[in-house]
Amino acid sequence: MNFTKLTVAGFLLVLIGLSWNCARLKSIPSDAVNDGLFLPDGFQAMVVVDSLKGQARHIAVNSNGDIYVKARSPYLNDGYGNVALRDTNGDGKADLIIPFGKYDGHTYGTAMRVHDGYLYFSSELMVYRMRLTPGQLVPDSQMDTVVIDEPPYHEHQTKPIAFDDKGHMFVGWGAGSNAGQVNNREPGSPGVGTPGSVDSANPWLKDHGGIWMFDVNKTNQHQWDGVKYATGLRSIVAMEWNPENKSLYTVAHGRDDFRLLWPDLYSPWQSAMEPAEEFFKVGEGLDGGWPYYYYDELKGKKLLNPEFGGDGVKEGDGAKLTKPLIGFPAHFAPNDLLFYHGSQFPAHYQNGAFIAFHGSTDRAPYPQAGFIVVFVPFKDGQPAGPWEVFADGFARVDPIVNVSNAVFRPMGLAEGPDGSLYVSETEHGRIWRITYKGDKKAFGKEQLAAMENRRQTASNIRTPDSIQDNLFKNMPTTSAVYNTYCAACHQHDGKGDGNRFPPLAQSEWVNYNKQRLIRVVLNGLKGPIQVKGLSYNEIMPPHAGTLSDDQIAEVLTYIKSSFRNTPEIVTPEDVKAVRNNTQNNTH
């Protein structure tokens, strides 16, 4: 009777998986060779699963090969925050796909890790865990709350996690600010606080912008129950413990919008190229320098942010801060980090670091960059050579004019029990398994040559020429205001980035209500809001003090006459009337 019950239960589980599989999004065509990915010679890639309903962020692979996915979009996933995958027939593809785990969360929830018999995952505010049962795909144990954050939701809330070998869990706590300004992302707004001062530090540094350490064996811990392990880190998504030298590492997101916020100090090229994404070995007490400083990888220096008196040259006390191990190009968006310990890959990759770069949104007027997986060789806990392009071709287009043109954007990394590398992406929920089929003993520079060539030539990787790579150089003049103040977030084609910044193209916020649109530009807007059926929770800064009535009229007429919107002229008189009404209502 027990066997019969188990057989029926297993049959029902397969039926659930098959029915879920049939409900997935429309499949994206796959190329025959490596699914269109570029890899070093000897490596092969295959699609494990395509078009997961809830898309994907971080992933984990259990010791039996089961894959667990943190859904990027629970609202597209019937409210479930996770997805479990299993290959039941040994063909390398997941044929059992089951959603599970309902908990509050939005699109920034990130973590998915297997540790000490538990499956850990996170929303923007919480870190959860469930006990795994050997051989059972979907955990049915109680969902424990391990770490608790407090509302409200804000940008850079991701909650990545890592574990050391002494019973500690590290949790990233992103700051809800771009550069610590009085008014976030408002052009010319100064920064809050004084560099080097404890008494007048930026308020975000009190309980955000860093990494906290907790007891992994306790539940329902608040931030004050943990230890502030590192600070000065604006946005942390990629974080991992390296057991080889028993150290924590992170690749932190640099700040945005130099040109948008300080057009008199930074050219479009400088804004596209700065600041670096910083790869840190994180010892207790590390100060990454945010919001006061940023790292200029071209100069190899920490420079003072303009919000605090910097001008692209001033260093302040930046030389006293810890330099990153590597400064990666600006806006690549590092979203996962994995130290490789398998034996399948050649010796070159042993104990080295793989990093998934999700890709930029704000490099206009230059091609968007990143959208790759890189590898950093390591020895004795330190980089042992320059970073290498390991996987490219996710975006499917070159150049990437707008982030929305990129078909796939790499996000999560996981190592399989056989030493394979798994890569997830956010836009369609595709997951690849990368294996090595070549001669490990013969692997060397010759097998890496083609990828080094891509690093030097592909527009999403190489350093752009300030004139030749300017995508707007041969275009007719459209709107100078839009290119300066709007394109970085909403993109040159008005489609937004699909996650952080909403589209203007055929948007209900652009069409049908001219007065509301003018108010948004004048007064700014704070989320959460719904645009074309999707949720967004970023901040639109006010421009009442930055743009004149003529400038606002010009840019809104351009927006409403472009991007397949309903054509309509916005006049300076229209803007003036809304501005006066707003001012009168505040007195």
Q: What percent of the chain has pLDDT over 70?
A: 93
Question: Which neighbouring-strand residues pair with 415?
Answer: 421
Task: Output the pLDDT for position 526.
Answer: 85
Instruction: Quote the CA–CA distance of 137 and 83 in Å, as a whole number.
Output: 10
Q: How far is CA 195 from CA 70, 209, 289, 318, 530, in A?
A: 37, 15, 9, 10, 38
Instruction: Give 92 or 585, the one with higher predicted confidence.
Output: 92
Task: Output the pLDDT for position 145.
Answer: 98
What are 92-150's pLDDT values in tens digits?
999 999 999 999 999 999 999 999 999 999 999 999 999 999 999 999 999 999 999 99
pLDDT band at 214 (very low <50, low <70, confident <90, very high): very high
What are 252-298's pLDDT values in tens digits?
999 999 988 898 899 989 999 999 999 999 999 999 999 999 999 99
Question: Which neighbouring-strand residues pair with 327?
Answer: 278
Instruction: Quote the CA–CA distance of 56 and 75 in Å, as a whole number.
Output: 13
pLDDT band at 83 (very low <50, low <70, confident <90, very high): very high
- Can you give the C-alpha Rg of the chain in angstroms? 24
pLDDT band at 1 (very low <50, low <70, confident <90, very high): very low
pLDDT band at 434 (very low <50, low <70, confident <90, very high): very high
Specify the amino acid at residue 256. D
Task: Give the chain's end-to-end CA distance (angstroms, integer).
Answer: 77
Indicate if the pLDDT at residue 469 is higher than 90: yes
pLDDT mean over 548-561: 90
Indicate if the pLDDT at residue 359 is higher than 60: yes
Indicate if the pLDDT at residue 386 is higher than 50: yes
pLDDT band at 22 (very low <50, low <70, confident <90, very high): very low
pLDDT mean over 2-6: 40
pLDDT mean over 576-584: 86
CATH number, span 480-585: 1.10.760.10
Instruction: Quote the CA–CA distance of 505 and 482 in Å, as a whole number.
Output: 14
Instruction: Quote the CA–CA distance of 302 and 288 in Å, as a whole number.
Output: 10
Indicate if the pLDDT at residue 6 is higher than 80: no
Q: Dihedrals φ, ψ of 261, to 5°?
A: -90, -30
Lowest mean pLDDT of 64-68, 213-217, 341-345, 498-502, name the range: 498-502
Task: Output the pLDDT for position 479.
Answer: 85
Task: Output the pLDDT for position 193.
Answer: 96
Task: Output the pLDDT for position 538.
Answer: 87
Burial class (CB in 10 A: 0-12, 13-18, 19+), 564: exposed
pLDDT band at 185 (very low <50, low <70, confident <90, very high): confident
Lowest mean pLDDT of 172-176, 231-235, 539-543, name the range: 539-543
Give whichever of 27-31, 287-291, 539-543 has the largest mean pLDDT.
287-291
Indicate if the pLDDT at residue 230 is higher than 80: yes
Q: What percent of the chain has pLDDT over 90?
A: 78
pLDDT band at 30 (very low <50, low <70, confident <90, very high): low
Whether omega for the bond prior to residue 334 falls within 30 degrees of 0, making it cis, is no
Task: Output the pLDDT for position 5.
Answer: 40
Indicate if the pLDDT at residue 32 is higher than 50: yes
pLDDT band at 4 (very low <50, low <70, confident <90, very high): very low
Sign of the four-CA dihedral 352, 356, 362, 363: positive
Task: Output the pLDDT for position 259.
Answer: 85
Instruction: Quote the CA–CA distance of 227 and 238 in Å, as a whole number.
Output: 20
Instruction: Give 197 or 242, the one with higher predicted confidence.
Output: 242
Indicate if the pLDDT at residue 502 is higher than 60: yes
Lowest mean pLDDT of 25-34, 145-154, 466-475, 495-504, name the range: 25-34
pLDDT mean over 377-387: 96
User: Residue 67 corresponds to which tokens in the numbers above?
Assistant: 């894959």
- Beta strands, E only, 50-132: 59-61, 67-70, 80-86, 96-102, 112-115, 118-122, 126-131
Annotate 341-366 with three-state secondary structure: CCCCCCHHHCCCEEEEECCCCCCCCC
Give the pairing type, strands 293-296 and 301-304. Answer: antiparallel
CB atoms within 10 A of CB 166: 8
Task: Output the pLDDT for position 315.
Answer: 96
Residues with Cβ within 8 Å of 308's Cβ and at least 6 positions away in sequence, in order, are: 180, 190, 191, 193, 195, 291, 292, 316
Angle between helices 514-523 and 572-585 (to 10 degrees): 60
Task: Output the pLDDT for position 27.
Answer: 55
Instruction: Give 18 or 119, the one with higher predicted confidence.
Output: 119
Indicate if the pLDDT at residue 478 is higher than 80: no
Q: Where in the chain is the domain with CATH 1.10.760.10?
A: 480-585
pLDDT mean over 424-442: 97
- Model confidence, pTM: 0.84
Mean confidence (pLDDT) of the chain:
91
Chain centroid, CA 187 distance in Å? 24
Give the pairing type, strands 525-526 and 539-540. Answer: antiparallel
pLDDT band at 362 (very low <50, low <70, confident <90, very high): confident
pLDDT band at 12 (very low <50, low <70, confident <90, very high): very low
